[in-house]
Structure 1
Amino acid sequence: MTQAVGVTRPGGRSARTRAAVHAAVRSLLDESADGTVTVAEVAQRSGVHTATIYRRWRGPEGLVLDTLFEELSHRSPLPVTGDLRGDLLTYTRGLLADLQAPGNRVFVRAIAAAVRTGGLSGLADFAEPRVRQVEEVLAASGTTEIGFLDVGELILAPAYAHTLLGAPLTAEADAERLVDNLVAVLDRRRSRKAGR
């Protein structure tokens, strides 16, 4: 997959530009009731020209997605120990706890707004580094029967949907259930494969 437009090489002016834009986006999202920002607002707050923003991030959806996926990578790293259930359980507990924080709910609203206006292809470009991290967890455990889409459907989608609906799942009550659902799918696929 090609590099996301908002992803730049570290260091130098590009890194400073990206940091200024991310700080502006985060600040504006904290003030936003609906999880959206405009390019004009980001340009004014960051001091980065609108043409640069459009060239690198394509529009407001790209700005939001790049900023939030970058934050997510730092705030909620994925463990890679080779123990699939353990790694996914640690990750899911962290994700659900993170989504409980009122300030982080804007992340979910922003993703929903970006998908509504930019479609899944725009989301995929900026989510690609996170997708790779999930795939590393799966690969470390030797798992080939499930992929990122399975993790998305059985862990991420319920977590984000409940948060959007105002009834976030909790790490204590729901993390094991979500991970167990994914492991059950993995076990069924392995059984089918072995039965061939």
Structure 2
Amino acid sequence: MEPARRPGGRSAKVRAAVHEAVLDLLREEDWDDLSLPKVAERSGVHQATLYRRWGTLNALIDDVVTEKLAHGSPVPDTGTLRGDLEAYALQVADDVAGPLGSLYLRAAMVGSRGPEGGTYLIQRAVSLQNMLERAAGRGEDPPTLLELMEVVIAPLYYHAIFFSRPVGHEHAKALVERLLSLPGSAP
């Protein structure tokens, strides 16, 4: 069982310093050069604390991404399924095209491969499922989470990863339109 963490105080200051160090280092260096010892040196937090709290670099990266997305890119609630889906697709397009895009993409790839990461993927999936359930509660006919992932989110990430060219807003809206035109989805 993981120990309870206080939301403020020393623990919050350590987390903030470590997160800032990760982001600073990623702006300056290649991913392959990033390490927990470098993060410890940059943040002023002892390596033992990093290993005790996060265990691995991938778990630390996942924590940084989880925090950034939770506060900077929440799942929208516009009052309609189409509005929610479009707002979310535009948000994802902007996130992967933005300055932290490579961080989000790398974390998604690493997190999907093992138990030491993927927290943000799980939390985001829960939030998206809640968005779809809200739509159903309003009497709309939402797609499944898998359909949302395959038709909208995966192509947004795919373009950014393999084409090194994130999509624009019009393309993101077209993906939502494609999702909503699937049999069984509400227009």
CA contact (8 A) 1:39 1:60 kept: yes
Q: How far did residue 40 of structure 1 move?
A: 0.6
In structure 2, distance between residues paired with 1:127 and 1:36: 24
Change (3 A) 1:120 1:18: same
Question: Aligned residue for 2:19?
Answer: 22
Q: How far did residue 60 of structure 1 move?
A: 0.7
1:168 counterpart SS class: coil
In structure 1, distance between residues paired with 2:181 and 2:32: 35
Q: What TM-score comes out, normalization by structure 1 length?
A: 0.77
CA contact (8 A) 1:35 1:110 kept: no
Question: Aligned residue for 2:126?
Answer: 132
Question: Aligned residue for 2:37?
Answer: 40
Structure 1 segments of 4+ aligned residues over 4 angstroms from their partners: none
Q: What TM-score comes out, normalization by structure 2 length?
A: 0.81
Please say if 1:106 is aligned against 2:86.
no
Change (3 A) 1:34 1:124: closer
Q: Unpaired runs of 5+ in structure 1? A: 191-196
The correspondence for 1:87, drawn from 63, 80, 84, is 84
Q: Could you list the per-position Cα deviations for residues 50-108 of structure 1 after superposition, in whole angstroms to 9, with x for gaps in the alignment?
A: 2221222221111112112211222222212341111110111122123223x233224
CA RMSD in angstroms, aligned pairs only: 2.8
Please say if 1:67 is aligned against 2:61.
no
The correspondence for 1:175, drawn from 165, 172, 176, is 172
Q: How far did residue 27 of structure 1 move?
A: 0.7
Instruction: Give 2:30's aligned amino acid.
Output: A
Change (3 A) 1:29 1:93: same
Q: How far did residue 181 of structure 1 move?
A: 2.8
- The percent of aligned pairs where both chains have the same amino acid is 34
Please say if 1:164 is aligned against 2:161.
yes
In structure 1, distance between residues paired with 2:70 and 2:118: 15
Instruction: Give 1:28's aligned amino acid.
Output: L
Question: Aligned residue for 2:144?
Answer: 146
Q: Unpaired runs of 5+ in structure 2? A: none
Question: Aligned residue for 2:115?
Answer: 121
Change (3 A) 1:36 1:160: farther
Instruction: Give 2:130's aligned amino acid.
Output: E
Q: How far did residue 119 of structure 1 move?
A: 1.4
Q: How far did residue 12 of structure 1 move?
A: 1.8
Instruction: Give 2:92's aligned amino acid.
Output: L
1:46-65 equivalence runs, <5 A: 46-65=43-62
CA contact (8 A) 2:89 2:152 kept: yes
